[in-house]
Amino acid sequence: MEIVSYDLNLDVDFAAAKVKGVVTLTIGRSEEPLTLDAVEMDVEAVRVNGEPWRSRFDRSKGKLRILRMPKGDSTVEIHYSKRVIDGTIFGLYKSKYDGNYMLVTDLEPAEARTVFPCKDDPAFKAVFNLRVVTDEHLKVISNSAAKSVEPAPGGRVLHVFNPSPRMSTYLFFMGIGDFEESKVSAGKTEIISASRPGTSKNAGFILGIAAQVLRDYERYFGIPYPLPKLHLIGLPEYHTGAMENWGAITAREPYVVIEKGASLSDIRHASFVMTHEIAHMWFGDLVTMKWWDDLWLNESFAAFMEHKMLNRAHPNWDIWRDFLLSENFPSMNADSLAGTHPIQVKVGTVNEIQQVFDAISYGKGASILRMMEAYVGEAAFRKGVNAYLRRFRYSNARGEDLWKSIAKSSGKPVSRVMGAWVKQKGFPVVKVSTKGKGSELSQSRFLVNGKESKGTWPIPLTYQSEGKLRSLLFDRKALIIKGTRPSSLLLNPGRTGFYATLYEEEAYNAIARRFHTLHPHDKAGIISDLWLFLQAGMVKPETYFRFLSLCGRFAEAIVVETASGQLASLRAIADEAQPVKRAYGDFFLPLAATIGLAPKQGEDPNLGTAREALMTQVVQVNEEFAARLSERFARFDEVEPDLRQAVATAYAVVNGGSAYEPMVRRLKTASEVDRAKLYAALTASTDQAVVEKTLDLTIGGQVSRSDSGYTIVGASNNPLARKTTWDWIVRRYDEVKGIYGGAQQFYLYLDRAVPRCGLGRAGEVKSFISGRRFDEGKLTFQRTFERLEVNTRLRERLLSA
Ligand SMILES: [Zn+2]
């Protein structure tokens, strides 16, 4: 069966948030009965080939079954109505601001069925012809450009859109509201920002990035972007980061509109998000996975390409640093749990589909693609990708199709290597040990619970010895490198490989001695591997802390950010442990003195992001520092963007309960980037009433409901707020879950919070969550519980160290 097209005629009563719809499906070779997905709507009438189909259809369990369908081609017309519910920010929802709202859709993976009856499966690609009648003063945005806007009866307006490209249902977009637009052109494509009134003047930066990367992608892929326009829509309430609706990308507001207070880190983040979504216009939209078990292919590819393309646009940004910090290191951490899943995973139900939108699908997959590109070479990789896109455009494909294509272009055993990495869960630890006058490398699966586990991967391995770079495919249990001792080896230089390296004590001593000679990415790689081994109990805490304080001597952005992130985690898990307290003095304070509060002349401009991360931590462990910075809060608007979070945090920490009112006053008129900083600060308070009131504030409807993510994550970083945070989760669980409307994002926030606020109450946590709320988030919760156990053991180990 084939769905050729959906003709959607929607009458939208904006004020009442009601939709009356008539959808006509043009079907080739219909199945019998025809089963469509239709949820949260009333189906009023069905016609088949123009004929009323009165009792020949039924509804049950989210399905609309149309019986006695004629064989061959036919049209099915469905009349339905739906009401937009107020509580959620997912599906067709109200994205609220200043007493007003925009009515918008966010449909991945399986919410299209709540907007119109459809075959809600990525393999059923169709053309969408949208016509919307609504109030006169409103703008309507969809995937393709409007063909005409004409008067309709009752003083209303009809918006008729050009046919969309042939695409999957989850990529459909409709947005209605008082959008303000701003435009630039990129070759034949018009790039248009759309955001709430008064903000479009700040969209210029992202429009510029989008225009540049769109053309870079066209050149790289060798296929032009097929639509005459691309919208970038900034939304005041948004449940994740962004969504790649074809021709109408939606995102959180600060990813489209760069406000005055945005720091370098905020600006880079927004650029990454948009470059990621634009990659999906090819990977995901033009060529789509056959089924959700290959979702990772979309996400990994976009996560990899966003770095590759932004590196072209901003060669001085040290882009692969961001790749390590936000894709590689976090996904290794996530993949080290026994309850991890393979990149390619069998999924059936909607809940299962959602639960694979995680660090494995994005970060690990992207890291494997980077490893593969390094293995086959850039030119062969690109050639393989281009052939794949050309072959499957406007259609669907599987991971294997891409490997075959790259195997062909490179002549290397890509299918075998990729097959192993995507189907096998976890990743290897390569142990380097002395063997006579040489070294022995052996591999096994790394588990953060410290248990030995078998496993062999075909590792494209690279190593440096005596200044020379060598590479080989390491696909056995063990191998010998003759004539080179472990102390003069460095494995995985440049961190293109997805494996951790464990050296012997003597080799660590040698690495410590030449640590200053290593590339910053390699320094960060070593401390990142040691962080895994510390959690697993595979190295002595002294070894880890020795390297952590070594990192404190280098004002290099990636080293500072990696190490200070780890120390922030240690503080959240075991702030009273002696080695952790000592590390504040050994790491934070010398670095704070070196980096200083203001940029020095000629300093690496990338250091701004490190300054922001570092100073925010330092104010929480050093009172004198906090007192000094907190005074600047009085003139917050004048504070340099990179220091805003540190200043706000200092103010909250120093002033306790009396900080709440002035900070919330500021919050209510602040942009989202500033709000994020103020929330992080408020939830860092030592006064528990402040933490609790802040958590309540973000779900109460007075501020954007998507702000709740900032406060839940923020509170979980505060070691004094464990009980407050957990009690709040128990008390407000159903409300918070309701806001996310069943989206995975809710479970991901809990996954950040529970392994920390659950410390010391694991039994209570498990019985609350597994009691009546387990199933829909089961896969994610299992990992959350395991992470809680890992943190509990780490805490005990550090307290007795
Ligand atoms: Zn994506």
Read off the pLDDT of residues 21-31 as tens digits, 9 standing for 90 and up: 999 999 999 99
Distance CA 760, CA 73 (A): 63
**171 CA to middle of ligand 1, Å?**
12
The pLDDT-based confidence of 775 (bands split at 50, 70, 90) is low
Distance CA 474, CA 125 (A): 41
SS3 content of the chain, % helix, strand, coil (to 5): 50, 20, 30
Here the tokens at position 541 are 């805490």
Give the 3-state secondary structure of residue 687: coil
For 7-16, 358-367, 377-386, 564-573, which range has the lowest pLDDT when averaged over its residues? 358-367
**641 CA to middle of ligand 1, Å?**
28
Q: What is the structure's pLDDT at 586?
A: 92
Q: Taking residues 251-266, what's their average pLDDT?
A: 94
Distance CA 574, CA 551 (A): 20
**362 CA to middle of ligand 1, Å?**
8
Q: What is the structure's pLDDT at 772?
A: 63
Q: Are 355 and 750 in contact (CB under 8 A)?
A: no
**280 CA to middle of ligand 1, Å?**
7
The mean predicted confidence, pLDDT, of the chain is 95
**276 CA to middle of ligand 1, Å?**
6
Read off the pLDDT of residues 143-172 as tens digits, 9 standing for 90 and up: 999 999 999 999 999 999 999 999 999 999
Q: Which residues contact 361 (CB under 8 A, 6 or more apart)?
A: 295, 296, 299, 300, 343
The pLDDT-based confidence of 740 (bands split at 50, 70, 90) is confident
**572 CA to middle of ligand 1, Å?**
30
Residues in the chain: 801
Here the tokens at position 33 are 């009965």
Q: Write down the pTM of the prediction.
A: 0.93
Q: Which residues contact 500 (CB under 8 A, 6 or more apart)?
A: 332, 427, 428, 429, 430, 446, 529, 532, 533
Distance of CA 301 to the CA centre of its chain: 13
Specify which residues 6 forms β-bridges with. 25, 128
Q: What is the structure's pLDDT at 13?
A: 98
**201 CA to middle of ligand 1, Å?**
27
**289 CA to middle of ligand 1, Å?**
13
**189 CA to middle of ligand 1, Å?**
21
Q: What is the structure's pLDDT at 56?
A: 94
Read off the pLDDT of residues 388-430 as tens digits, 9 standing for 90 and up: 999 999 999 999 999 999 999 999 999 999 999 999 999 999 9
Q: Are 562 and 524 in contact (CB under 8 A)?
A: yes
Distance CA 22, CA 762 (A): 51
366-391 burial: b if 16+ Cβ within 10 Å, else e:
bbbbbbbbbbbeeebbbbbbbbbbee
Q: What is the structure's pLDDT at 759?
A: 98
Does residue 435 carry a pLDDT above 90?
A: yes
Distance CA 302, CA 275 (A): 8
- Stronger pLDDT, 701 or 192, i.e. the higher one: 192
**780 CA to middle of ligand 1, Å?**
19
Does residue 745 carry a pLDDT above 90?
A: no
Does residue 88 carry a pLDDT above 90?
A: no
Here the tokens at position 74 are 């036919």
- Residues with catalytic annotation? 277
Phi-psi category of 750—alpha, beta or left, where left has phi over 0 and alpha has psi -120 to 50? alpha
**391 CA to middle of ligand 1, Å?**
22
Read off the pLDDT of residues 106-119 as tens digits, 9 standing for 90 and up: 999 999 999 999 99
Task: Report the DSSP pairing between strands 248-252 and 180-186.
Answer: unpaired
Read off the pLDDT of residues 647-672 as tens digits, 9 standing for 90 and up: 999 999 999 999 999 999 999 899 99
Q: What is the structure's pLDDT at 678?
A: 97
Helix (H) or strand (E) holding 285: none
- Stronger pLDDT, 88 or 511, i.e. the higher one: 511
Read off the pLDDT of residues 314-333 as tens digits, 9 standing for 90 and up: 999 999 999 999 999 999 99
Q: Are 718 and 684 in contact (CB under 8 A)?
A: yes
**676 CA to middle of ligand 1, Å?**
22
**711 CA to middle of ligand 1, Å?**
24
What DSSP designation does 426 have?
A: S
Distance of CA 620 to the CA centre of its chain: 27
**243 CA to middle of ligand 1, Å?**
7
Q: What is the structure's pLDDT at 773?
A: 64
Task: Report the DSSP pairing between strands 2-13 and 127-134.
Answer: parallel
Q: Which residue has the tokens 């001695």?
A: 513
Give the 3-state secondary structure of residue 337: coil
From residue 430, give the alpha-carbon distance in Å to each of 328, 435, 457: 17, 15, 10
Q: Are 250 and 233 in contact (CB under 8 A)?
A: yes
Distance CA 780, CA 347 (A): 14
Q: Taking residues 759-772, what's their average pLDDT?
A: 90
The candidate with the shortest Cα–Cα distance to 688, out of 726, 651, 662, is 726
**244 CA to middle of ligand 1, Å?**
7
**236 CA to middle of ligand 1, Å?**
20
Q: What is the structure's pLDDT at 642?
A: 92
